[in-house]
């Protein structure tokens, strides 16, 4: 049996809190607010200069959620609440079409640029306004979150609707993205949804992920499967995103913890380990972005890049797994991931993290935000990691770890 000291957890907790509150949050506070037209700039260079003014709805929503969560969990800083409502006001005014669906992109002034083809805009809108309603008690925020969530449920069997470019009734696949997001979103909306809706949705997504997308013969979660969970021998069917799998797994552990499902927690830990073993680059370190189930050339030419978000999501999965089970495999992988991440992604000079590395670990794009990277994965991860370390610190004196 192995043990870890209280000082170990305190040290990591301080690292994450310092990076969150002294480097990451100030970066977005200082550079992202559009004080003229509302909302946030997300396309920011390494030192915070704005290089594009388009506003992507899911990133706007994610930043509202982030500052709302900060306000609710890391001290009621009035500035954080003002930043959250600054984004929410812009979204209320310009973010939705007449049918209530959330656009994908707007120009700086709020004019629609890209139609609401992507249901993830709706998912993060529900998440944002749900969190904002939780900290303010404002009924209009609650209503936006509830209405948006209902729209998601109505669209979930055909998320892209008329914007789906696949030819009907040919290669029919279901994508991991929506059940993955719902496994987290439903818990985020716990305070405004009816209990039976919560449990029905949690059981549904849990069953779908574990029994259709997870493939025990490979020890990993696939991105796309057939309508009955079968493997499709195609680019889409062979597509693996280790980061998505690991993010899904800590969502599943949250569900399992809520439901007292110790068997699922243990299973989740085993899948976390097998996913890391599968997705880790043995030559240069770090997690591959995309992989092919059969080891064939992936469709995505950026497959070998190392991205910020899979690494911090993997850290969460490992630390959460360790916290729930004391399995030292999780701790050893956590330390390995932390060391790689802190060496390659963290920008001590200007704050926040670089997002895109070459396979070898060199900074590939010196941006801190863009069309796909915004104020979300890094601050969310740092919040969760620091809170988990705080919990581990409290239990350290009575902790025994399993080798």
The 10s digit of each residue's pLDDT in 373-389 is 999 999 999 999 999 99
Share of the chain above pLDDT 90, in %: 92
Instruction: Decide: residue 99, CB within 10 A, 0-12 exposed, 13-18 middle, 19+ buried.
Output: exposed
The 10s digit of each residue's pLDDT in 236-281 is 999 999 999 999 999 999 999 999 999 999 999 999 999 999 999 9
Tokens 């978000």 -> residue? 309
Question: Residue 89: what pLDDT?
Answer: 98
Question: Residue 377: what pLDDT?
Answer: 98
Distance between CA 213 and CA 232 in Å, rounded?
12
Tokens 């995505």 -> residue? 300
Check whether 93 has a pLDDT greater than 80.
yes
Nearest by Cα to 376 from 120, 107, 64, 145? 64
The 10s digit of each residue's pLDDT in 184-227 is 999 999 999 999 999 999 999 999 999 999 999 999 999 999 99
The reported pTM is 0.97
Check whether 395 has a pLDDT greater than 90.
no
Contacts with 115 (C-beta within 8 Å, 6 or more apart), sequence order? 97, 103, 104, 163
The token duo for 257 is 């913890």
Check whether 334 has a pLDDT greater than 50.
yes
Per-residue pLDDT, averaged over 285-305, amounts to: 97
Domain architecture of the chain: domains with CATH: 1-22+166-403 (1.50.10.10), 33-165 (1.50.10.20)
Check whether 1 has a pLDDT greater than 50.
no
Question: Residue 95: what pLDDT?
Answer: 98
Distance between CA 150 and CA 134 in Å, rounded?
18
The token duo for 388 is 């988990």
């Amino acid at each position: 049996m192995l043990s870890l000291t209280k000082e170990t957890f305190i040290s990591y907790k301080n690292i994450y809190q310092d990076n969150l509150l002294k480097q990451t949050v100030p970066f977005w506070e200082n550079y992202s607010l559009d004080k003229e037209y509302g909302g946030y700039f997300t396309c920011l260079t390494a030192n915070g200069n704005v290089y594009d003014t388009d506003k992507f709805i899911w990133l706007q929503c994610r930043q509202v959620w982030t500052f709302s969560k900060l306000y609710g969990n890391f001290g009621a800083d009035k500035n954080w609440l003002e930043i959250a409502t600054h984004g929410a006001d812009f979204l209320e005014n310009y973010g939705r079409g007449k049918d209530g669906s959330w656009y994908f992109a707007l120009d700086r002034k709020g004019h629609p640029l890209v139609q609401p083809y992507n249901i993830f805009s709706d998912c993060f809108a529900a998440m944002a306004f749900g969190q904002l309603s939780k900290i303010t008690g404002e009924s209009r925020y609650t209503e936006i979150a509830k209405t948006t969530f209902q729209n998601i449920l109505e669209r979930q069997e055909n998320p892209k609707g008329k914007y789906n470019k696949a030819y009907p009734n040919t290669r029919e696949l279901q994508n991991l993205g929506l059940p993955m997001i719902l496994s987290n979103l439903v818990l985020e909306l716990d305070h405004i949804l009816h209990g039976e809706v919560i449990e029905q949705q949690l059981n549904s997504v849990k069953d779908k992920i574990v029994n259709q997308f997870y493939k025990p013969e490979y020890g990993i979660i696939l991105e796309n499967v057939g309508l009955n969970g079968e493997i499709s021998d195609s680019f889409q069917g062979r597509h693996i995103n280790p980061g998505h799998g690991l993010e899904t797994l800590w969502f599943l552990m949250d569900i399992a913890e809520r439901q007292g499902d110790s068997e699922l927690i243990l299973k989740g830990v085993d899948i976390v380990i097998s996913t890391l073993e599968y997705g880790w680059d043995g030559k240069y370190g770090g997690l591959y972005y995309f992989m092919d189930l059969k080891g064939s050339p992936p469709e995505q030419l950026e497959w070998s890049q190392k991205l910020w978000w899979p690494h911090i999501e993997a850290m969460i999965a490992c630390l959460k797994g360790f916290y729930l089970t004391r399995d030292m495999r999780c701790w050893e992988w956590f330390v390995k991931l932390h060391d790689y991440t802190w060496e390659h992604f963290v920008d001590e000079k200007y704050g926040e993290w670089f997002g895109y590395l070459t396979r070898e670990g060199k900074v590939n794009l010196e941006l801190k935000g863009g069309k796909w990277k915004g104020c979300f994965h890094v601050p969310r991860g740092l919040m969760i990691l620091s809170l988990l370390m705080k919990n581990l610190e409290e239990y350290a004196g009575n902790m025994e770890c399993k080798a």
